[in-house]
């Protein structure tokens, strides 16, 4: 069969055909031709060629009309841009195809349908400058879903051609230096996967916020994927660890349940033909995960195959067909934001004030300015440079003004929605999925939008002070000790791992429990016997997991594995939970289980709590989570640390208890470290080190207990000083004992950052490592390097 100059089947295409069918269709052909044998399923289809587009506008006189209309157009004049764009789109959409072009499209359609009834198609644009490594045209033109019949396909192709003259597409080409006449357009006609009764989403082969490239980031929601791309829905989110996946081990680092309040489905409307519509998601489904673990890992394996084939980070759209149950890849394009990242900037809030709204943080920057609430793209001309754009959601029509915003805030959307993608592209902070920003924020109100405080983005009232620091991390000098970090927030792990480090010296399990669980562990175990409404509250919070107990174990494992994966292969020292009784009481249902203590700081905590019969089942869950991370996921860089061990008997008891739960010191490389924070630990350092693989000095508790100073009391705060001779005596005993035994000794706390003379003293005594809060790592690193040079 003679090859048509106007239409090409996907199976005959590859990246070498980019100039003829554009980036998107060339990539689809590339995957169909090369990756099908590796298990990557791509729905079949065909592409019109750029030659077909040239004939369409050239033979009909449209080319002259378009060139004349766009000559000298100022894209920042949004009213004129809208007028010209609308006129051009109407002309293109109404134009008939040249007979030869239409005949070839009809023939390709008939071959694809092959007599089947009820087959529906997606008709998408594919520009010759689209999806290139250094440009992102994705979403600039229109996509038409659930198109049936040849007449519907022909009209959808015309509409795709017309969308080359959307306002945002015109503006993007001007701002990025692309000649309107040189950008060719292809239309892809692809059979639809029935995700309208399944699920769909987007995945990236790297973390889009930090650039961490050992994880696949997957988003998922019910229904058609346009809902996720548009930001109309807050999807589920998953992280999958590539090394574990390649090793055939359990690989999911994180499962995040999105609200998924709405979904896009097929609809039948005789007046406009068969199209799509948004409907409310069944409330019973919203709290569940839209993918199984097996499906998440299968998608991630497809992502690895695609990334390996293209040799670069990729942005991939996928769908699960609700009829045949299979997973399909719909598109794949280069990831274009983090691949262009340069020197690290670190934004810090100097003060925090009243939070007006909060949502998902996009990027790690801070912006401030007056609010501008827009409910329609028709209001774009009102937007002024430097304002904070607030909208229900955005789509590509908003792009001409988004670059002028100091920050973006939306009611709806997740990390892969349109607003998030464009905010990253532009380097603008955005807070998406706030739920009520357009209601809570009003025009002219000054706000500060912070994405520099972790996974959650905050919109503060007023213009608040913040700082920006730039660090060329590749130029960091050598230091005379190991610098580790104190990290207890898994959602920030990938970003923190970009700082210079030798691992995590203190990962507080209680931080993970507080942030990712928030419920007292005994209440999860006793869930069936709790009274209402507490029982229903816990059931709702844990419904995405097999049981409340499974919820605890998996969530702890997720938190720990995120930290361990981010910092691998460096050690990650995880301290078992060290809540005091008053802190445990603050968890949901905590007051039902916790005693009232006059001084919880020296009460029911640490090793003594683990060894009590009342807490045995709770400790078993913590141990199970850590064993799963080490032995099943293969993250053996995790070390276990035991806090507040008062006596040698407690030390023996805890080591035996860990072994009962499968955490045997020395097996599979497991090291068990002890917090050296009670004076008895330093006094009997040699004996404690017979039972543990090293010390991590907790200078706060050691100072408090050595000097008899309540560190929470302002009345005696002036007496609290880690540099007191009595405290230094204890620290020196601990360090010397570790050095003599050839075992690890580190210190976790801000003493070395706050007191350069203490840091110097520790270096002289031979401390193995200093574990610092991330915001002090760079400054302390540079200070220690200078100290080492002077020494």
* Chain segment 559-576, per-residue pLDDT in tens: 999 999 999 999 999 999
Choice between 750 and 658, residue whose per-residue pLDDT is larger? 658
- Give me the pLDDT at residue 777, please: 84
Region of poorest pLDDT, from 12-26, 127-141, 370-384, 658-672? 127-141
Residue 128 has pLDDT above 90, yes or no: no
Q: Is 418 annotated as catalytic?
A: yes
pLDDT band at 394 (very low <50, low <70, confident <90, very high): confident
Cβ 298 vs Cβ 313: under 8 Å: no
Choice between 503 and 226, residue whose per-residue pLDDT is larger? 503
pTM of the model: 0.86
- CB-CB neighbours of 742 under 10 Å: 8
Q: List C-alpha distances in Å: 85 to 56, 170, 384, 568.
A: 18, 8, 22, 51
Instruction: Tell me the HSE value of 365 on the side-chain side, using a 13 A CA sphere.
Output: 16
Mean pLDDT of 632-641: 98
* Cα 683 to Cα 687: distance, rounded to the nearest angstrom: 9
Which residue is listed with tokens 């040698």?
648
Name 199's bridge partners: 222, 320
Structure tokens at 738: 């570790």
Residue among 302, 418, 501, 520 flagged as catalytic: 418
Q: Which residues are within 8 A (CB) of 660 and not within 5 positions of it... i.e. 6 or more apart?
A: none
- Give me the pLDDT at residue 132, please: 47
Choice between 68 and 787, residue whose per-residue pLDDT is larger? 68
Residue 270 has pLDDT above 60, yes or no: no
Mean pLDDT of 708-720: 80
Residue 182 has pLDDT above 60, yes or no: yes
Identify the burial level of 711 via C-beta atoms within 10 angstroms of its C-beta, where 0-12 means exposed, 13-18 middle and 19 or more buried: middle
Residue 141 has pLDDT above 80, yes or no: no
Instruction: Quote the mean pLDDT of the chain.
Output: 91
- Give me the pLDDT at residue 687, please: 98
- Give me the pLDDT at residue 588, please: 96
- CB-CB neighbours of 198 under 10 Å: 22
pLDDT band at 555 (very low <50, low <70, confident <90, very high): very high
Residue among 417, 451, 676, 748 flagged as catalytic: 748
Choice between 598 and 109, residue whose per-residue pLDDT is larger? 109
- Give me the pLDDT at residue 327, please: 98
Residue 355's closest CA among 448, 277, 445, 290? Answer: 448
Residue 133 has pLDDT above 50, yes or no: no
Residue 135 has pLDDT above 90, yes or no: no
Mean pLDDT of 493-505: 92
């Amino acid at each position: 069969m003679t090859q048509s100059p106007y239409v090409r089947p996907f199976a005959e295409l590859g990246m070498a055909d980019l100039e003829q069918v554009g980036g998107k269709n060339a990539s689809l052909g590339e995957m169909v031709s090369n990756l099908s044998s590796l298990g990557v399923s791509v729905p079949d289809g065909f592409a019109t060629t750029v030659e077909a587009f040239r004939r369409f506008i050239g033979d009909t006189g449209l080319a002259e009309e378009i060139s004349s209309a766009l000559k000298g157009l100022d894209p920042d004049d949004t009213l004129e841009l809208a007028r010209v764009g609308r006129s051009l789109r109407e002309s293109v959409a109404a134009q008939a195809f040249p007979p030869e072009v239409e005949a070839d499209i009809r023939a390709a359609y008939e071959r694809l349908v092959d007599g089947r009834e009820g087959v529906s198609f997606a008709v998408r644009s594919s520009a010759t400058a689209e999806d290139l490594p250094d440009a992102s045209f994705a979403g600039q033109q229109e996509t038409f879903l659930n198109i049936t019949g040849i007449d519907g396909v022909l009209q959808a192709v015309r509409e795709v051609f017309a969308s080359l003259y959307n306002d945002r597409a015109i503006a993007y080409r001007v701002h990025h230096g692309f000649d309107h006449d040189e950008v060719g357009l292809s239309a892809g006609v692809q059979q639809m996967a029935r995700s309208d009764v399944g699920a769909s989403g987007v995945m990236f082969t790297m973390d889009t916020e930090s650039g961490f490239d050992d994880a696949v980031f997957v988003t998922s929601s019910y229904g058609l994927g346009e809902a996720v791309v548009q930001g109309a829905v807050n999807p589920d989110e998953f992280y999958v660890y590539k090394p574990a996946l390649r090793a055939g081990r359990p690989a999911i680092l994180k499962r995040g349940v999105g609200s998924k309040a709405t979904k896009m489905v097929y609809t039948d409307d005789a007046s406009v033909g068969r199209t799509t519509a948004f409907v409310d998601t069944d409330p019973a489904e919203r709290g569940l995960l839209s993918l199984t673990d097996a499906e998440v890992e299968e998608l991630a394996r497809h992502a690895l195959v695609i990334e390996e084939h293209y040799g670069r980070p990729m942005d991939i759209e996928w769908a699960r067909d609700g009829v045949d149950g299979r997973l399909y890849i719909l598109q794949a394009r280069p990831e274009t934001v983090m691949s262009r990242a340069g020197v690290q900037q670190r934004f810090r809030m100097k003060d925090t004030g009243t939070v007006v709204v909060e949502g998902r943080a996009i990027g790690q920057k801070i912006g401030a300015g007056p609010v501008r609430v827009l409910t329609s793209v028709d209001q774009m001309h009102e937007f002024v440079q430097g304002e904070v754009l607030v909208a229900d959601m955005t789509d590509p029509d908003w792009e001409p003004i988004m670059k002028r915003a100091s920050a973006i805030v939306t009611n709806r959307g997740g990390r892969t929605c349109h607003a998030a993608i464009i905010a990253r592209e532009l380097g603008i902070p955005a807070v998406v999925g706030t739920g009520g920003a357009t209601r809570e924020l009003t025009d002219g109100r000054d706000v500060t939008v912070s994405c520099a405080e972790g996974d959650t983005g905050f919109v503060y009232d007023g213009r608040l002070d913040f700082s920006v620091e730039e660090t060329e991390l590749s130029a960091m000098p050598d230091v005379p000790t190991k610098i580790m970090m104190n990290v207890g927030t898994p959602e920030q792990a990938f970003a923190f791992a970009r700082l210079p480090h030798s691992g995590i010296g203190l990962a507080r399990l209680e931080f993970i429990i507080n942030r990712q669980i928030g419920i007292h562990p005994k209440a999860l175990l006793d869930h069936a016997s709790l009274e209402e409404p507490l029982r229903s509250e816990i059931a709702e919070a844990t419904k995405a997991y097999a049981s409340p107990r499974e919820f605890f174990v998996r969530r702890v494992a997720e938190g720990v594995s995120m930290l361990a994966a981010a910092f691998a292969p460096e050690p990650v020292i995880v301290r078992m939970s060290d809540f005091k009784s008053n802190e445990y009481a603050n968890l949901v249902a905590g007051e039902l289980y916790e005693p009232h203590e006059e001084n919880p700081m020296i009460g029911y905590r640490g090793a003594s709590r683990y060894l009590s019969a009342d807490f045995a089942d709770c400790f078993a869950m913590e141990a199970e989570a850590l064993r799963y991370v080490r032995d099943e996921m293969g993250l053996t860089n995790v070390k276990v640390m035991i806090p507040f061990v008062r006596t040698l008997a407690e030390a023996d008891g805890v080591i035996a208890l860990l072994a009962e739960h499968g955490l045997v010191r020395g097996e599979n490389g497991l090291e068990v470290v002890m917090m050296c924070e009670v004076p008895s630990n330093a006094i009997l350092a040699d004996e404690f080190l017979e039972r543990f693989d090293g010390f991590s000095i907790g200078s706060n508790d050691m100072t408090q207990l050595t000097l008899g100073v309540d560190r929470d009391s302002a009345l005696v705060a002036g007496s609290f000083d880690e540099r007191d001779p009595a405290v230094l005596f204890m620290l020196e005993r601990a360090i010397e004992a570790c050095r003599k035994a050839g075992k690890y000794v580190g210190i976790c706390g801000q003493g070395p950052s706050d007191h350069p003379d203490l840091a110097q003293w520790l270096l002289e005594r031979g401390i193995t490592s200093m574990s610092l809060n991330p915001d002090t790592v760079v400054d302390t690193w540079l200070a220690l390097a200078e100290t080492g040079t002077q020494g």
